[in-house]
A and B are shown apart, each in its own frame.
Chain A
Amino acid sequence: MLKFAVKRILFIIPSIFIITFVTFLIMSFSAGSPGSVALGITATPEEIAEYNHAVGYDRPVLVRYADYMLNALQGDFGESYSSGVPVVDLLMPKFPTTLKLALFAVLFSALIGIPIGVLAAVKKGTIADTGTTVVSLVLASIPGFWLGLLLLLLFSYQLGLLPPFGIGTWKHYVMPVATLAIPSSAYVARMVRMTMLEALSSDYVRTARAKGAGPGRIVFVHVLRNAMLPVITQLGMSFAGLLGGAVIAEQIFGMPGFGTAILEAINKKETMIVLGATIFLSLLYMLIMLAMDLINALLNPKIRDNMG
């Protein structure tokens, strides 16, 4: 299994190169250059060109990319064009807010989604099943930003229970987390229902029944573990996705997080910040997926053996 983990980590390296190169290439088509960003709109084209030459921006894309990667490997992800502050120092302070949002959102979506999905599968065909299926389908069809607006309207503007903006107290986190967790938990519930139904109709369940096992034992001892494998991978993917997707909740509820910082950087054409954020989030995504695979292997002996 260690061999598997090492192999997977080695696999990450070419991916990182592809991701950075694609992002680098995309950003190089952007109208913004270090000169135009740093000197502002009053600068003449000559001044901008001079500035760009001074920082080496007039070299070919491939050379600049190699330069960037060499520095990045040493932990230097460049500086903001306008302020000169290192990208790492700019972005890292914003990350805890977003991490908290994503972590709580995925936690709640698991805590809500899994039991509901299991219940719906076990009670298949009953009103409880139909009801949860319909509700989860509707919730999964609501775009996060609209859900956020509705929550804001109800809990802040109408009821005055929760603060609409900022990050001061735990109360500030309730609505943003709900905005991210509700559609996600609906999705989890739908998936759990599907994998549970699949597992419940498998042959080993029939064997367990033939042994005299009751429904509770079948669900908790035999089915749940096998049905959870794809769900765990899905939860990892949602977590990684929420780290980026939190930008919507951050925007609605005025939280100065990672996503907001990226959005600003994109608008200001701050290539270095966008690149740094992309590398960071992609790397995180790959490490999370690796962790999910390892958890899957721990739960499923067959996968464990295949990892060799």
Chain B
Amino acid sequence: MTKRRRSRQKRLADMAGQTNPAMDVWRNFARHPVSMAALVILILMIIAAVVSGFLFDYDTEVTALNPAELLQPPSAEHWFGTDKFGRDVFIRVMYGARYSLFFGIVTTAVSMVLGILIGATCAYFGGLYDIIVMRIMDSLVCIPSILLMLTLVAVLGKGMRGIIIALVVTSVPGFARIIRSIVLNVVHQEYVEAARASGTGNGTIILRHILPNCFGPILVDVLMSVSSCIMAAASLSFLGMGIQAPAPEWGSMLNEAMEHMRAYPYLGIFPGLAIVITTLCFNLLGDGLTDALDPKNR
């Protein structure tokens, strides 16, 4: 049903004059001022995350105690104020982008690769392998993700490695399922059958013919996954199960701030705002891409 409607819309679009699709998507996207703004903000954030590693010294400026300037409200000198140890909150928030962006991007990339591996092989080979692997994936989905992540972190140790593995384990099943259904669609397309009929090997077919066609549909899911991974990582740290103090991870900064929220609300505002802006930008990017990829708008 949708396919037929799409084709009708596409015909309409064709009548209106259509050119190179990739350029069209970009043009559509660029016309969206909000998505463009999100893209710019994210690029700035990535730059800030990279630069802050060189700009600030972790031991003396990010985590060192400074008893002379405890709990100061925001001022010209300390834009976001200072925390209970006298550390500059602005520097810590900026430095914290390193953790969140790293978790969001790296875990999504790893999950995507694993998801593609699992989903594509399941769809391509089918049979018992497919049944067993997908059953395991579906079962993992049934465990509440926060519970699974907490358990994994508890066993693997609180810290980078634990968080990344926990996030990957919880996001792989979703990717595997999406990729599997896309590949199942593609596998039965005529050009794949033609390639198989002409004796092309399995690996080549998957790499050359199948995967490139999966990229478009999952692009949006990938961006959404980045933002949900960022949120999940921050939640873990907030619950005291993620990155530990004194590292300036946004979630653990909020955890620290909780006891002082009543008297010093700004401590709880800025790290939270940073999380919201980051996840919002990834979500906006996803929305903009959905619109731009929609054949109706081309």
Touch between A and B in complex, CB under 8 Å? yes
Interface residues of A (CB under 8 A from B): 14-15, 18-19, 22-23, 26-27, 29-30, 137-138, 140-146, 149-150, 152-153, 157, 198, 201-203, 240-241, 243-245, 247-248, 251-252, 259, 262-263, 266-267, 269, 274, 277-278, 281-282, 285-286
Pair A138/B147 contact, Cβ less than 8 Å: no
**Nearest A-chain residue to B232, judged by Cβ:** A143
Q: B147 near A18 (CB under 8 angstroms)?
A: no
Tell me how far the C-beta of A131 lies from the nearest C-beta in chain B, rounded to whole angstroms. Answer: 13
Which of B138, B231, B283 is A137 in contact with, Cβ under 8 Å?
B283
Binds A, one of B49-57, B67-75, B150-158, B202-210: B150-158
> Could you say which residues of chain A place their CB within 8 Å of the CB of B231?
143
B11 within 8 A of A: no
B94 at the interface (CB under 8 A from A): no
Q: Is B103 an interface residue (CB 8 A)?
A: no
Question: Which residues of chain A have C-beta atoms less than 8 A from B152's C-beta?
Answer: 26
Pick from A198, A203, A241: contact of B144, CB below 8 A.
A241
- With an 8 A cutoff between CB atoms, is B262 at the interface? yes
A-B contact list, 26 entries, CB within 8 Å? A18-B135, A19-B142, A19-B143, A137-B280, A137-B284, A138-B276, A142-B272, A143-B238, A143-B279, A149-B257, A149-B261, A150-B272, A157-B261, A157-B262, A202-B1, A203-B1, A240-B144, A244-B144, A247-B150, A248-B238, A266-B150, A266-B151, A281-B144, A282-B144, A285-B142, A285-B143
A269 to B239, CA, bound (A): 16
**Residues of A with C-beta under 8 A to B287:** 137
B268 CB-CB contact with A under 8 Å: yes
Residues from chain A with a CB closer than 8 A to the CB of B241 are 263, 266
Q: Complex formed: what's the CA distance from A9 to B256 in Å?
A: 45
Q: Which residues of B contact A141 (CB under 8 A)?
A: 227, 276, 279-280, 283
- Chief secondary structure at chain B's binding surface: helix
Residues of B within 8 A of A29 (CB): 155-156
- On whether the beta carbons of A149 and B136 are closer than 8 Å, the reply is no
Task: Find out whether the CB atom of A145 lies under 8 angstroms from the CB atom of B251.
Answer: yes
Residues 81-115 of B at the A interface (beta carbon under 8 Å): none
Q: Which residue of B lies closest to A281 (CB)?
A: B144
| Assembled-state Cα–Cα distance A142/B148 (Å) | 22
By the criterion CB–CB under 8 Å, are A145 and B151 in contact? no
Given contacts A26-B155, A281-B147, contact A149 B254 (CB under 8 A): yes
Q: How many residues of B contact A (CB 8 A)?
A: 44
Q: Is the CB of A285 within 8 A of B144?
A: yes
**In the complex, B235 has a CB within 8 A of chain A:** yes
Scan residues 196-254 of chain B and give those whose CB is less than 8 A from a CB of chain A: 227, 231, 234-235, 238-239, 241, 251, 254
Q: Is the CB of B139 within 8 A of A22?
A: yes
- Taking CB as reference atom, which chain B residue is nearest A17? B139
Count A-B pairs with CB separation below 8 Å.
Answer: 134
Q: How many angstroms from the CA of A29 to the CA of B276 in the assembled complex? A: 35
8 shortest interchain CB distances as A-B pairs: A244-B144, A146-B272, A141-B280, A18-B139, A141-B279, A15-B139, A282-B142, A266-B154
Give A207 to B229 CA distance when docked, in angstroms: 44
Residue of A nearest to B275 (CB): A143
Q: Tell me the bound Cα distance from A293 to B261 in angstroms.
A: 44
Query: In the complex, what distance in Å separates the CA atom of A203 from the CA atom of B4?
Result: 10
Which single member of A19, A143, A244 contacts B139 (CB below 8 Å)? Answer: A19
Q: Report if B265 contacts A (CB, 8 A).
A: yes
Nearest A residue to B9 by beta-carbon distance? A201
Question: Given A141-B276, A145-B251, A282-B142, are A14 and B135 neighbors across the interface (CB < 8 Å)?
Answer: yes
Expressed in whole angstroms, the Cα–Cα distance for A103 and B261 within the complex equals 29
| Known pairs A140-B283, A142-B276; A286 contacts B154 (CB<8 A) | no
- Are B1 and A145 in contact, CB atoms less than 8 angstroms apart? no
Which A residues are CB-close (under 8 A) to B262?
A: 153, 157
A286–B143 Cα distance when bound, in Å, is 9
Which residues of A lie under 8 Å from residue B40 when comparing CB positions? none
Tell me, in angstroms, the Cα distance from A57 to B268 when the chains sit together. 45
- Contacting residues, chain A, for B150 (C-beta < 8 A): 247, 262-263, 266
Known: A26-B151, A29-B155. A153 touches B142 (CB 8 A): no
C-alpha spacing A245/B150, complex, angstroms:
11
Q: Is B5 an interface residue (CB 8 A)?
A: yes
**Cβ–Cβ contact A244 & B239, under 8 A:** no
- Once A137-B280, A137-B284, A248-B239 are accepted as A-B contacts, the answer to whether A27 and B261 lie under 8 Å apart by CB is no
B155 in complex: contacting residue of A27, A243, A277, CB < 8 Å: A27
> Given A141-B276, A145-B238, A146-B272, list of 8 further CB < 8 A pairs?
A15-B142, A23-B151, A29-B156, A137-B284, A143-B234, A143-B275, A150-B268, A202-B1
Q: How far is the CA of A252 from the CA of B283 in the complex (A)?
A: 26
Q: Which residues of chain B are near A150, meaning CB under 8 Å?
A: 268, 272
Q: Does B5 contact A201, Cβ atoms closer than 8 Å? A: yes
Give B121 Cβ to nearest chain A Cβ, in Å.
Answer: 19
Is A18 within 8 A of B254, CB to CB?
Answer: no
Distance, CA A47 to CA B181, complexed state (A):
54
CB <8 Å contact, A15 and B268: no
Provide the residues of chain B in CB contact with A142, threshold 8 Å. 272, 276
Q: Which residues of B contact A248 (CB under 8 A)?
A: 146, 235, 238-239
Q: Answer whether A30 and B154 are a contact pair too, CB < 8 Å, given A15-B138, A141-B283, A247-B146.
A: yes
